[in-house]
Amino acid sequence: MKSAVPEAAPPTAKRSLALSPLVLEQGRAVLLGDVADVRIEDGPAIIGRENAKRRVLVECNVRGRDLASFVQELEGRLARIQRPAGTWFVVTGQYDNLVRGAKRLALVVPVTLACIFLLLYMTFRSVRASLLVMLNVPVAASGGLVALAARGLPLSISAAVGMIALFGVATLNGVVLLAAIERRIEGGERLEEAITRGAEERLRPVLTTALVAALGFVPMAMASGTGAEVQRPLATVVIGGLVSATALTLLVLPGLARLALRPTGKEAQQVLDEQKLASVE
């Protein structure tokens, strides 16, 4: 049996420890120096155990890079280390939260997109018009990713949550524009005229919605205090996505609306018949 004392302990402390009595079960006492080798050694200050096995905890904070790539690189380096039999490495902490969050988002994002498409179809009663508005979703997502890359921020769970919030605002602007165009078409205006006047009518509302939402996230995007690692990716995604989605809504969507809303087949023949009837009257 060995008993270690601090390296800075004087010889008298070592001798006193060796002379310490140990009481046995029968009530007899022996000196520690008689049953143990007392000497000065370096050793762990605390020996932790988990499930009756020794555990050594190593903690670190990840800065300047995303957690997922850090853990991937860490596990690769740990795999190359020669370990004694019966020892292993376990990476835990915030990485576990990242994995659980990614699994939840893998379910939440498709459900969110399906709900958005269902609501759009209930609004326009047209698959083409619904898909046209849904085009804002990938464009907004690409804008958010470009903004993250430009600022050197990782695609984290908070950034993914920002994507979900962004999808709602992006599709809202598309609905506002397309609804104005369809209302004018139902009022009897020609397709080209309805698209032009509808875009002019909804220019300021679309810009106002996007500008107000983007400006509201600017303080979060510039945050540097506690919680900035969560706020900055979320706000950056929303601002970048709003820029790209608004540009699509105002510049590209009117042109695509001409193709999506153009009557085909029976609808085209019905429009021609109505025009002929109007000209006769």
Helices 157-186 and 203-221 pack at an angle, to 10 degrees, of 170
Tell me if 57 is assigned to some domain: no
pLDDT higher than 50, residue 59 = yes
Mean local confidence (pLDDT), 136-161 = 87
Q: What is the CB neighbour count within 10 angstroms for residue 49? A: 8
Task: Output the pLDDT for position 268.
Answer: 45
CATH code (residue 177): 1.20.1640.10
Q: What pLDDT is recorded for position 228?
A: 79
CA distance 192 to 92: 59
Q: Read off the pTM.
A: 0.66
Q: What pLDDT, on the 0 to 100 scale, is given for residue 182?
A: 85
Q: How far apart are CA 66 and CA 139, in angstroms?
A: 24
Domain count along the chain: 1
205: in domain: yes
Q: Measuring CA to CA, which residue among 110, 103, 148 is closest to residue 244?
A: 148
Q: Is residue 30 part of a domain?
A: no
pLDDT for 237: 92
More confident residue, 225 or 250: 250
Q: Is residue 63 part of a domain?
A: no
Count CB neighbours of 167 within 10 A: 23
User: What is the rounded average pLDDT for all residues in the chain?
Assistant: 81
Predicted confidence at residue 55, as pLDDT, reads: 83
- Per-residue confidence band for 5, with pLDDT thresholds at 50, 70 and 90: very low
What's the pLDDT score for residue 1? 47
Residue 269's pLDDT is 47
What mean pLDDT is predicted for residues 213-217? Answer: 87
Least confident segment among 8-22, 147-161, 175-189, 267-281: 267-281
Query: 75 lies in a domain?
Result: no
pLDDT at 118: 92
Token duo for residue 210:
């996007």
Q: Residue 166: give the domain boundaries.
A: 101-280
User: Residue 6: inside a domain, yes or no?
Assistant: no
Is residue 137 one of the residues assigned to a domain? yes
Considering the domain boundaries, does residue 64 fall inside one? no
Residue 281 has pLDDT above 70, yes or no: no
pLDDT, position 266: 53
